Amino acid sequence: MIERLDQLASCDAANDIAMERLQAARPVWVNVGVAADVIPEMGERMLLHAGPPIIWEDMSGPMRGAMIGAMLLEGWAKDESEAQKLGAGGEITFEPCHHHSAVGPMAGVISPSMPVNIIENRAPSGLGGGNRSYSNLNEGLGKVLRYGAYSPDVLERLRWMADELAPAMRKTVKAMEGGLDIKNIIARALHMGDEVHNRNLAATATLIRMIMPYLADSVSDTKVISRVANFIAGNDHFFLNLGMPAAKASLDAMANVEGCSLVSTMARNGTEFGIRVSGLGDRWFTAPAKHPAGLFFPGYGQEDANLDIGDSAIMETLGLGGFAMGGAPAIVQFVGGSTAEAIQATNEMYGITWTRSRDYTLPIFDFKGVPMGIDIRKVIETGIYPNINTGIAHRDAGIGQIGAGILRAPETPFQEAFEALTEKMSA
Amino acid sequence: MIERLDQLASCDAANDIAMERLQAARPVWVNVGVAADVIPEMGERMLLHAGPPIIWEDMSGPMRGAMIGAMLLEGWAKDESEAQKLGAGGEITFEPCHHHSAVGPMAGVISPSMPVNIIENRAPSGLGGGNRSYSNLNEGLGKVLRYGAYSPDVLERLRWMADELAPAMRKTVKAMEGGLDIKNIIARALHMGDEVHNRNLAATATLIRMIMPYLADSVSDTKVISRVANFIAGNDHFFLNLGMPAAKASLDAMANVEGCSLVSTMARNGTEFGIRVSGLGDRWFTAPAKHPAGLFFPGYGQEDANLDIGDSAIMETLGLGGFAMGGAPAIVQFVGGSTAEAIQATNEMYGITWTRSRDYTLPIFDFKGVPMGIDIRKVIETGIYPNINTGIAHRDAGIGQIGAGILRAPETPFQEAFEALTEKMSA
């Protein structure tokens, strides 16, 4: 292995270039649009999903549940059984969010009529800037589409989000001339005990603080202001669907750098876990997804849990979430573990990253930057695999979230990517 | 001294009673009123101030500045020189906020027409509950009355606060049936890196998150909603003037417990620092105030700084602020010092307190409660004096805030209180 690590020594220069782009990334919330109108190459009968590519037959319960919900929402099917047939029939195209500059938490299903947050990377174009990314809007916790629920109340909420929430958010963002700097909110939230993946309390509250004056300025109906404020204020994770596309826009800027050994994507579709590596382009390296170990809501346990699911590991790919949880010890009340374990996890992650973030810092680590730029060489050399924290969906369609937990990324994708990079570099 | 400590061994039982009341305290924001209408025994030509009692001649620059501003605001004087004469003339009664169930940050001046937050302690009456406390509304940072500024813009802001902000807040609080649980917000903010004295970022953002839906529901004019949201969202410390009376209402419930050796008040008037001890009733023990060492705004330095000032040390008296800063390491960017020093300070404070808070916990200390119940016996025994962090006012009237810093409480008041308690207990 030492020999192969030597072969990859030339990755260093490429990694520096890639990291300069990641450090320079400045994700800004610039608009709210409709998926069909704004997401690149979004087809008419296309549904985007979290993780690497997957076919209907291989989809887990919550992924199918979310697909069924999306087909009902779009009016393509009248009921569950019609949707099941349609899904299996081959008329619907299923593609990863990641193939469309998008990300979605958990099932991550984005259908054409859904509103999406639009993030623009305002870094100089010489540093990979100018790209955009997209995510749906966060529905809240519990019985929601992204956890595989599709009952009438779930769909009704999604319709309200498209009809009232999204237009209000669009006006609000437009009123903030130049948009809203998401990098700044993430940096502040890290100083307020969020790891910005499963703990978004400070980020969401800070977001509310920043947008409320503009919401009140740009929406004329106080009832709408009240309903929108109430919905956002009632959702601890509203910020997640801004943080994720912000991470995506940042990481897309460092993708496809020739010779770079840093991970540009980690994502799960509920069946498989997949990574992509900057120097290996758009190729996925996958393995069966694992079970998170965690804390369950009353009445549920490990046996009810689906495999790890969602694009939200984009937060860990950026150096947040399970990488930054030592700076956010209160997260252990939600995902399990102890303060000492949270600190230990972050310390371990410094061992597999290329550098530290310049802008995302952790006060308790003496304002050291979060571990950033997962280097597959270091992963293979140390045998330390990325630490991810995550929500847990019920394994059956139609139920929703049942807990939250922690896990390590599976080993195979990193090993195979390492082999592929060695091969490519020695070719 | 060991002999005298032995004499005070009987304080233990009283301290347990007092601490049970402090632990049980449940401060709730129940209303916004006008000082003259709601503050007990508020006289017509009375101005309340921070800290122990003080006469006009002894007042520091910022305290006089705030008094001048209040006299102009009330229309008692037409200009500064008239106000100076009036202040020196003996027609105005100056009394500590603390003598009227009230607290105010920095100069802490409350005049009859000012709007005040009303906090009620919803603990059972058997545990000292049912009492109320009061504070003015926070004006923001920089050139503001509480830092001794009194220019026309300062007074204009205060008038707007009385005319538009306070009525809007009153409607908002009324709309939250049962009021807003401030204990809950403090507990959450401690998990989000605030120490809730000089860092109120999370508390303020969480407050905004909680009140905005009610503000939008209860105020019909979107322009008012917008201005109010803008003012609160623009003020990192808006929560302070709710946190302080919450601490006051909590600590008043444990004041005047016979034989109790715990500190019920720490406060500074800009000239003197004073404490009161539960078992010694309303008697003040004072010493000259000290200079905080800290970080200064550009253009200012230690030589411009006033002595320590304000009722805000009520936060430390409750176990927050300088006692909890190990859980809020980002505070060192504002008040100076390092993460290690912040943790060390909190660890030291555990050495002088009777117990730990049940409800105010610090994730980074493995969810241990903050050090609570400053025991003058332990202070004397260890020689460790309370750690306080604070804003710093310019020494001259009319200028405002110039920095923030940290200091230890002076020794004399604790030593004299210890003597007095020994005397009382052996009588």
Q: Residues 65..124 of A with a Cβ closer than 8 Å to B: which?
A: none
CATH code for the domain defined by A2-21+256-426: 3.90.1700.10
Distance from CA of B136 to the nearest CA of A (A): 22
The single-letter code of the amino acid at A421 is L
Q: Cα separation of B262 and B124, whole Å?
A: 21
Q: Residues 182..221 of B with a Cβ closer than 8 Å to A: which?
A: 188, 191-194, 201-202, 204-206, 208-210, 212-213, 215-217, 219-220
pLDDT score recorded for residue B365: 96
Q: Cα separation of A366 and B29, whole Å?
A: 36
How many residues comprise chain A?
Answer: 427
B194–A191 C-beta distance less than 8 A: no
CA-angle at B415, arms to B413 and B420, nearest 5°: 90
pLDDT at B32 over 70: yes
In angstroms, the Cα distances linking A255 to A9, A14, A28, A242, A249 are 19, 11, 19, 20, 10
B36 near A CB under 8 A: no
pLDDT score recorded for residue B8: 85
pTM of the model: 0.95
Nearest to A226 among B188, B192, B217 (CB): B217
DSSP B244: H
Q: Could you tell me the sign of the dihedral formed by the alpha carbons of B108, B113, B117, B120, in that order?
A: positive
Please choose, from the candidates B110, B120, B97, the residue with its C-alpha nearest in 3D space to the C-alpha of residue B50: B97
Residues in chain B within 8 Å Cβ distance of A208: 205, 208-209, 212
pLDDT at B401 over 70: yes
Distance from CA of B217 to the nearest CA of A (A): 6
pLDDT at A79 over 80: yes
Task: State the Cα torsion A397-A400-A404-A409 to the nearest 10°.
Answer: 30
pLDDT score recorded for residue A403: 93
If pLDDT is split at 50, 70 and 90, which confidence band does A5 have?
A: confident
Q: Cα separation of B8 and A80, whole Å?
A: 75
CA-angle at B89, arms to B85 and B94, nearest 5°: 105
C-beta of residue A402 within 8 angstroms of C-beta of residue A394? yes
pLDDT, tens digit, 9 for 90 and up, residues A12-28:
999 999 999 999 999 99
pLDDT, tens digit, 9 for 90 and up, residues A391-423:
999 999 888 899 999 999 999 999 999 999 999
Phi, psi of A288 (to 5 degrees): -55, 140
pLDDT score recorded for residue B263: 98
Residue in chain B lying closest to A332 (CA) = B363
A233–B216 C-beta distance less than 8 A: no
pLDDT, tens digit, 9 for 90 and up, residues B50-105:
999 999 999 999 999 999 999 999 999 999 999 999 999 999 999 999 999 999 99
Please choose, from the candidates B185, B187, B191, B227, the residue with its C-alpha nearest in 3D space to the C-alpha of residue B206: B185
SS (H, E, C) chain A: CHHHHHHHHHHHHHHHHHHHHHHHCCEEEEEEEEHHHHCCCCCCCEEEECCCCCCHHHCCHHHHHHHHHHHHHHCCCCCHHHHHHHHHHCCCEEEEHHHHCECCCCCCCECCCCEEEEEEECCCHHHCCCCEEEEECCCCCCCCHHHCCCCHHHHHHHHHHHHHHHHHHHHHHHHCCCCEEHHHHHHHHHCCCCCCCCCCHHHHHHHHHHHHHHHHHHCCCHHHHHHHHHHHHCCCCCCHHHHHHHHHHHHHCCCCCCCCCEEEEEEEECCEEEEEEHHHCCCCEEEECCCCEEEECCCCCHHHECCCEEHHHHHHHHCCHHHCHHHCHHHHHHHCCCHHHHHHHHHHHHHHEEEEEEEEEEHHHCCEEEEEEEEHHHHHHHCCCCEEEEEEEECCCCCCEEEEEEEECCCHHHHHHHHHHHHHHHC
Q: Cα separation of B381 and B351, whole Å?
A: 10
With H, G, I as helix, E, B as strand and everything else as coil, classify residue B142.
Answer: coil
Distance from CA of B334 to the nearest CA of A (A): 13
In angstroms, the Cα distances linking B231 to A145, A215, B234 are 37, 14, 5
Distance from CA of A74 to the nearest CA of B (A): 31
pLDDT, tens digit, 9 for 90 and up, residues A25-72:
999 999 999 999 999 999 999 999 999 999 999 999 999 999 999 999
Arithmetic mean of pLDDT over chain B: 96
Distance from CA of A230 to the nearest CA of B (A): 5
Distance from CA of A367 to the nearest CA of B (A): 8
pLDDT score recorded for residue A4: 78
Q: Cα separation of B271 and B265, whole Å?
A: 17
The single-letter code of the amino acid at B152 is P
If pLDDT is split at 50, 70 and 90, which confidence band does A1 have?
A: low
pLDDT, tens digit, 9 for 90 and up, residues B184-240:
999 999 999 999 999 999 999 999 999 999 999 999 999 999 999 999 999 999 999
Residues in chain B within 8 Å Cβ distance of A364: 329, 339, 364
Q: Cα separation of A149 and A147, whole Å?
A: 6
pLDDT score recorded for residue B91: 93
pLDDT score recorded for residue B1: 67
CA atoms within 13 A on the CB side of B246: 28
Q: Cα separation of B55 and A52, whole Å?
A: 74
B225–A220 C-beta distance less than 8 A: no
pLDDT score recorded for residue B66: 97
Q: Could you tell me the sign of the dihedral formed by the alpha carbons of A68, A69, A73, A78, in that order?
A: positive
Residues with Cβ within 8 Å of B3's Cβ and at least 6 positions away in sequence, in order, are: none
Domain boundaries, chain B: 2-21+256-426, 25-244
Q: Residues 380..419 of A with a Cβ closer than 8 Å to B: which?
A: none
Complex prediction ipTM: 0.93
pLDDT, tens digit, 9 for 90 and up, residues B297-323:
999 999 999 999 999 999 999 999 999
Q: Cα separation of B344 and B330, whole Å?
A: 14
With H, G, I as helix, E, B as strand and everything else as coil, classify residue B294.
Answer: strand
Residues in chain A within 8 Å Cβ distance of B339: 363-367
Please choose, from the candidates B85, B139, B76, the residue with its C-alpha nearest in 3D space to the C-alpha of residue B108: B139
Nearest to B205 among A209, A222, A367 (CB): A209
Nearest to B363 among A213, A329, A363 (CB): A329
Q: For an interface test with A, give the residue of B222, B223, B367 to mutate (most A CBs within 10 A).
A: B222
Q: Cα separation of A34 and B84, whole Å?
A: 64
Q: Which two tokens stand for residue B104?
A: 């105010």
What is the separation of C-alpha B151 from the centre of its chain, rounded to a whole number of angstroms?
24
With H, G, I as helix, E, B as strand and everything else as coil, classify residue B354.
Answer: strand
Q: For an interface test with B, give the residue of A194, A206, A227 to mutate (most B CBs within 10 A).
A: A206
Assigned CATH class of B25-244: alpha beta
Distance from CA of A122 to the nearest CA of B (A): 25
Pairing between β-strand A46-49 and β-strand A93-96 as defined by DSSP bridges: parallel
DSSP B206: H
Pairing between β-strand B27-34 and β-strand B115-121 as defined by DSSP bridges: antiparallel
Give the residue-averaged pLDDT of A295-320.
96
Q: Which two tokens stand for residue A87?
A: 């899904």
CA atoms within 13 A on the CB side of A247: 34
A366–B330 C-beta distance less than 8 A: no
Nearest to B201 among A192, A329, A365 (CB): A192
B58 near A CB under 8 A: no
pLDDT, tens digit, 9 for 90 and up, residues A182-212:
999 999 999 999 999 999 999 999 999 999 9
C-beta of residue A218 within 8 angstroms of C-beta of residue A152? no
Q: Residues 122..181 of B with a Cβ closer than 8 Å to A: which?
A: none
Q: Cα separation of B143 and B79, whole Å?
A: 18
What fold characterizes domain A26-244?
A: Enterococcus faecalis V583 fold (3.90.1710)
Q: Cα separation of B306 and B158, whole Å?
A: 23
Residue in chain B lying closest to A228 (CA) = B213
Q: How many CB pairs under 8 A join A and B?
A: 107
Q: For an interface test with B, give the residue of A212, A365, A368 to mutate (most B CBs within 10 A).
A: A212
If pLDDT is split at 50, 70 and 90, which confidence band does B144 have?
A: very high
